[in-house]
Amino acid sequence: MIKKDLLRPPWWIEEYDNALGKFDAGDSIILSDDTNHSTIGIGANLGFKRSVFDQCGSFHPNLDRYKRKLFMGGDAEFARRVEAAGGLLMYYPAAVVHHCPDSDRVTKSYLRRWYFRIGEWQARKIPPGMNETSTIFIVPGWHYRKMLEQLWQTVSLALRGRHSEGFSHQLEFISAFGYFWGALKNSLRGILLFTLQR
Protein backbone atom coordinates (compact mmCIF):
# COMPACT_ATOMS: atom_id res chain seq x y z
CA MET A 1 0.00 0.00 0.00
CA ILE A 2 1.58 3.26 -1.17
CA LYS A 3 1.10 6.22 1.13
CA LYS A 4 -1.98 8.17 0.12
CA ASP A 5 -0.52 11.63 0.65
CA LEU A 6 2.12 11.13 -2.07
CA LEU A 7 1.15 13.81 -4.59
CA ARG A 8 1.08 12.56 -8.15
CA PRO A 9 1.18 15.02 -11.07
CA PRO A 10 -1.92 15.44 -13.29
CA TRP A 11 -0.40 13.36 -16.12
CA TRP A 12 0.17 10.35 -13.81
CA ILE A 13 -1.87 7.20 -14.54
CA GLU A 14 -2.42 4.25 -12.21
CA GLU A 15 -0.17 1.99 -14.30
CA TYR A 16 2.83 4.09 -13.24
CA ASP A 17 2.26 3.09 -9.59
CA ASN A 18 4.23 -0.08 -10.40
CA ALA A 19 7.34 2.12 -10.51
CA LEU A 20 6.57 3.20 -6.95
CA GLY A 21 6.60 -0.38 -5.68
CA LYS A 22 2.94 -1.31 -6.05
CA PHE A 23 2.32 -5.05 -6.26
CA ASP A 24 -1.17 -6.54 -6.24
CA ALA A 25 -1.73 -10.08 -7.54
CA GLY A 26 -5.39 -10.18 -6.51
CA ASP A 27 -7.42 -11.43 -3.56
CA SER A 28 -6.47 -15.12 -3.64
CA ILE A 29 -3.59 -16.85 -1.89
CA ILE A 30 -0.97 -17.95 -4.43
CA LEU A 31 1.67 -20.62 -3.79
CA SER A 32 4.76 -21.11 -5.92
CA ASP A 33 5.03 -24.64 -7.24
CA ASP A 34 5.83 -26.54 -10.42
CA THR A 35 2.60 -25.37 -12.07
CA ASN A 36 2.83 -21.71 -11.06
CA HIS A 37 5.80 -19.57 -12.05
CA SER A 38 4.19 -16.17 -11.61
CA THR A 39 5.87 -13.49 -9.53
CA ILE A 40 4.88 -13.91 -5.88
CA GLY A 41 6.16 -10.57 -4.69
CA ILE A 42 8.71 -7.82 -5.14
CA GLY A 43 11.45 -6.50 -2.88
CA ALA A 44 9.17 -3.89 -1.34
CA ASN A 45 6.87 -6.54 0.14
CA LEU A 46 8.85 -9.75 0.62
CA GLY A 47 9.61 -11.35 3.96
CA PHE A 48 11.68 -14.44 4.79
CA LYS A 49 12.62 -16.33 7.94
CA ARG A 50 16.25 -15.94 9.01
CA SER A 51 16.78 -19.66 8.37
CA VAL A 52 16.08 -19.11 4.66
CA PHE A 53 19.08 -16.77 4.40
CA ASP A 54 21.21 -19.27 6.35
CA GLN A 55 20.30 -21.94 3.79
CA CYS A 56 20.22 -19.90 0.55
CA GLY A 57 22.63 -17.04 1.17
CA SER A 58 21.75 -13.37 0.80
CA PHE A 59 20.60 -11.08 -1.97
CA HIS A 60 23.12 -10.28 -4.71
CA PRO A 61 23.82 -6.53 -4.34
CA ASN A 62 24.75 -6.13 -8.03
CA LEU A 63 21.14 -6.97 -8.95
CA ASP A 64 19.47 -4.27 -6.86
CA ARG A 65 19.43 -0.54 -6.28
CA TYR A 66 22.63 1.02 -5.15
CA LYS A 67 22.75 4.78 -4.55
CA ARG A 68 21.47 6.25 -7.86
CA LYS A 69 21.83 3.01 -9.81
CA LEU A 70 18.40 1.62 -10.50
CA PHE A 71 19.24 -2.04 -11.01
CA MET A 72 16.57 -4.64 -10.33
CA GLY A 73 15.96 -8.36 -10.17
CA GLY A 74 17.66 -9.34 -6.90
CA ASP A 75 14.32 -10.20 -5.33
CA ALA A 76 13.30 -12.49 -8.23
CA GLU A 77 16.74 -14.14 -8.33
CA PHE A 78 16.63 -14.82 -4.58
CA ALA A 79 13.09 -16.22 -4.86
CA ARG A 80 14.29 -18.64 -7.56
CA ARG A 81 17.11 -19.79 -5.26
CA VAL A 82 14.63 -20.40 -2.45
CA GLU A 83 12.42 -22.48 -4.77
CA ALA A 84 15.45 -24.42 -6.09
CA ALA A 85 16.31 -25.29 -2.47
CA GLY A 86 12.82 -26.73 -2.00
CA GLY A 87 11.23 -23.67 -0.43
CA LEU A 88 7.65 -22.61 -1.03
CA LEU A 89 6.74 -18.98 -1.61
CA MET A 90 3.33 -17.56 -0.77
CA TYR A 91 1.43 -14.49 -1.87
CA TYR A 92 -0.88 -13.63 1.03
CA PRO A 93 -3.29 -10.80 0.10
CA ALA A 94 -4.38 -10.08 3.69
CA ALA A 95 -0.85 -8.96 4.57
CA VAL A 96 -0.58 -5.19 4.12
CA VAL A 97 2.74 -3.44 3.57
CA HIS A 98 2.89 0.35 3.83
CA HIS A 99 5.41 1.64 1.32
CA CYS A 100 6.59 5.27 1.43
CA PRO A 101 8.46 6.16 -1.77
CA ASP A 102 10.22 9.51 -2.13
CA SER A 103 8.54 12.27 -4.11
CA ASP A 104 11.34 12.15 -6.72
CA ARG A 105 9.81 8.89 -7.95
CA VAL A 106 6.76 10.68 -9.34
CA THR A 107 8.77 12.41 -12.06
CA LYS A 108 9.10 11.67 -15.76
CA SER A 109 12.87 11.28 -15.48
CA TYR A 110 12.49 8.59 -12.80
CA LEU A 111 9.87 6.73 -14.85
CA ARG A 112 12.14 6.75 -17.91
CA ARG A 113 14.95 5.23 -15.86
CA TRP A 114 12.62 2.66 -14.26
CA TYR A 115 11.08 1.52 -17.57
CA PHE A 116 14.54 1.13 -19.12
CA ARG A 117 15.66 -1.06 -16.21
CA ILE A 118 12.45 -3.12 -16.33
CA GLY A 119 13.17 -3.86 -20.00
CA GLU A 120 16.75 -4.76 -19.19
CA TRP A 121 15.60 -7.05 -16.35
CA GLN A 122 13.09 -8.81 -18.63
CA ALA A 123 15.92 -9.60 -21.05
CA ARG A 124 17.83 -11.23 -18.18
CA LYS A 125 14.77 -13.12 -16.99
CA ILE A 126 13.89 -14.63 -20.37
CA PRO A 127 16.91 -15.50 -22.52
CA PRO A 128 16.72 -13.62 -25.83
CA GLY A 129 15.40 -15.68 -28.70
CA MET A 130 14.05 -18.46 -26.50
CA ASN A 131 11.39 -20.36 -28.48
CA GLU A 132 11.74 -17.81 -31.27
CA THR A 133 12.27 -18.80 -34.89
CA SER A 134 13.27 -15.33 -36.07
CA THR A 135 15.88 -13.25 -34.26
CA ILE A 136 17.87 -10.23 -35.39
CA PHE A 137 21.02 -9.49 -33.40
CA ILE A 138 19.92 -11.97 -30.69
CA VAL A 139 16.58 -10.20 -30.13
CA PRO A 140 13.21 -11.63 -31.33
CA GLY A 141 11.95 -9.98 -34.50
CA TRP A 142 8.62 -8.99 -32.95
CA HIS A 143 10.53 -6.87 -30.45
CA TYR A 144 11.75 -4.52 -33.19
CA ARG A 145 8.19 -4.09 -34.41
CA LYS A 146 7.13 -3.20 -30.88
CA MET A 147 9.90 -0.61 -30.58
CA LEU A 148 8.97 1.01 -33.91
CA GLU A 149 5.24 1.00 -33.10
CA GLN A 150 5.83 2.66 -29.73
CA LEU A 151 8.20 5.23 -31.24
CA TRP A 152 5.64 6.05 -33.95
CA GLN A 153 2.84 6.44 -31.38
CA THR A 154 5.07 8.68 -29.24
CA VAL A 155 5.90 11.02 -32.12
CA SER A 156 2.41 10.95 -33.63
CA LEU A 157 0.65 11.83 -30.37
CA ALA A 158 3.23 14.50 -29.49
CA LEU A 159 2.66 16.18 -32.87
CA ARG A 160 -1.07 16.26 -32.13
CA GLY A 161 -0.45 17.82 -28.71
CA ARG A 162 -1.53 14.70 -26.79
CA HIS A 163 1.62 14.62 -24.66
CA SER A 164 0.24 12.60 -21.73
CA GLU A 165 -0.82 9.75 -24.02
CA GLY A 166 2.41 10.03 -25.95
CA PHE A 167 4.42 9.75 -22.74
CA SER A 168 3.04 6.28 -21.94
CA HIS A 169 4.11 5.12 -25.44
CA GLN A 170 7.50 6.76 -24.89
CA LEU A 171 7.92 4.66 -21.75
CA GLU A 172 7.00 1.49 -23.63
CA PHE A 173 9.59 2.37 -26.28
CA ILE A 174 12.20 2.97 -23.57
CA SER A 175 11.33 -0.38 -21.97
CA ALA A 176 11.70 -2.12 -25.34
CA PHE A 177 15.07 -0.43 -25.86
CA GLY A 178 16.10 -1.52 -22.34
CA TYR A 179 15.24 -5.10 -23.33
CA PHE A 180 17.43 -4.78 -26.42
CA TRP A 181 20.28 -3.36 -24.31
CA GLY A 182 19.91 -6.12 -21.72
CA ALA A 183 19.87 -8.83 -24.39
CA LEU A 184 23.01 -7.38 -25.97
CA LYS A 185 24.79 -7.28 -22.59
CA ASN A 186 23.75 -10.88 -21.86
CA SER A 187 25.06 -12.01 -25.23
CA LEU A 188 28.38 -10.21 -24.81
CA ARG A 189 28.73 -11.60 -21.28
CA GLY A 190 28.11 -15.11 -22.64
CA ILE A 191 30.73 -14.66 -25.39
CA LEU A 192 33.24 -13.34 -22.85
CA LEU A 193 32.66 -16.29 -20.48
CA PHE A 194 32.95 -18.76 -23.37
CA THR A 195 36.22 -17.13 -24.49
CA LEU A 196 37.69 -17.17 -20.98
CA GLN A 197 36.79 -20.84 -20.48
CA ARG A 198 38.61 -21.94 -23.63
Q: How far apart are CA 163 and CA 47, in angstroms?
A: 39
* pLDDT digit string, tens, across residues 14-25: 899 888 888 888
Q: How far apart are CA 169 and CA 155, in angstroms?
A: 9
SS3 state of residue 64: coil
- Tell me the whole-structure pTM to 2 decimals: 0.76
Q: How far apart are CA 62 and CA 74, in angstroms?
A: 8
Residue 36's DSSP bridge partners are 33
Query: Can you list the positions of beta strands (E) in 99-184?
Result: 135-136, 139-140
**What letter would DSSP give residue 36?**
B
* pLDDT digit string, tens, across residues 144-185: 888 899 999 999 998 998 888 899 999 999 999 998 888 887
Q: How far apart are CA 4 and CA 50, in angstroms?
A: 32
* pLDDT digit string, tens, across residues 82-139: 888 888 888 888 887 777 788 888 999 999 999 998 888 888 765 544 545 566 666 7
How buried is residue 57: exposed, middle or buried, by Cβ count under 10 Å (0-12/13-18/19+)? Answer: exposed
